[in-house]
């Protein structure tokens, strides 16, 4: 299953991937230091599901919108200023999108996305 993390610079995509999903980076990661170039691809096991996580960059976007093509789900991170995405999304409108807003307590975005996917009977989750 393919899940894309999208959003403007410093909206928390890579922070979520490393702290919320347990993705290990081969380079040192500090909050507010550096930016994802292009995309980081990680295969994770999450609650019994194998998920290809595409942590997209927002300054040097590389393929940009093509990253979201053929996604099973999208987690869209917003920043405090609600800046737009650095690229348009290329995905089927029936693909579930979970929006993540800064601050406050919130449910885990991947859990919400999996629930949406199960409700739409995605074959890869059956």
- Of the candidates 70, 62, 113, the residue with the CA atom closest to the CA atom of residue 86: 62
DSSP helix/strand/coil, 23: coil
Query: What are the 10-residue block averages of pLDDT along the chain, 126 residues in total?
Result: 90 84 60 61 86 82 74 91 80 86 84 89 50
The separation between CA 80 and the C-alpha centre of its own chain, rounded to angstroms, equals 17
Q: Are 122 and 1 in contact (CB under 8 A)?
A: yes
Task: At 51, give phi and psi (nearest 5°).
Answer: -125, 125
Instruction: Give me the pLDDT at residue 51, please.
Output: 92
Topology at the third CATH level for domain 2-125: Rossmann fold (3.40.50)
How far is residue 98's CA from residue 120's CA, in Å, rounded to a whole number? 14
Instruction: Give me the pLDDT at residue 20, please.
Output: 81
How far is residue 96's CA from residue 94's CA, in Å, rounded to a whole number? 6
How far is residue 75's CA from residue 97's CA, in Å, rounded to a whole number? 6
**Which sign does the torsion angle of CA 17, 18, 22, 24 carry?**
positive
Instruction: Give me the pLDDT at residue 17, please.
Output: 85
Instruction: Give me the pLDDT at residue 99, please.
Output: 92
């Amino acid at each position: 299953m393919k899940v894309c993390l999208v959003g403007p610079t410093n909206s928390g995509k890579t922070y979520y991937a490393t702290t919320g999903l347990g993705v290990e980076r081969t380079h040192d990661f500090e909050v507010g230091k550096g930016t994802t170039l292009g995309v980081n691809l990680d295969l994770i096991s999450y609650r019994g599901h194998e998920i290809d996580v595409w942590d997209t960059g927002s300054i040097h976007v590389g393929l940009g919108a093509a990253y979201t093509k053929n996604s099973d789900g999208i987690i869209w991170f917003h920043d405090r200023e609600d800046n737009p995405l650095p690229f348009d999304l290329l995905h089927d409108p029936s693909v579930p999108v979970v929006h993540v807003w800064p601050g406050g307590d919130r449910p885990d975005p991947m859990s919400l996305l999996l629930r949406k996917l199960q409700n739409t009977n995605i074959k890869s989750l059956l």
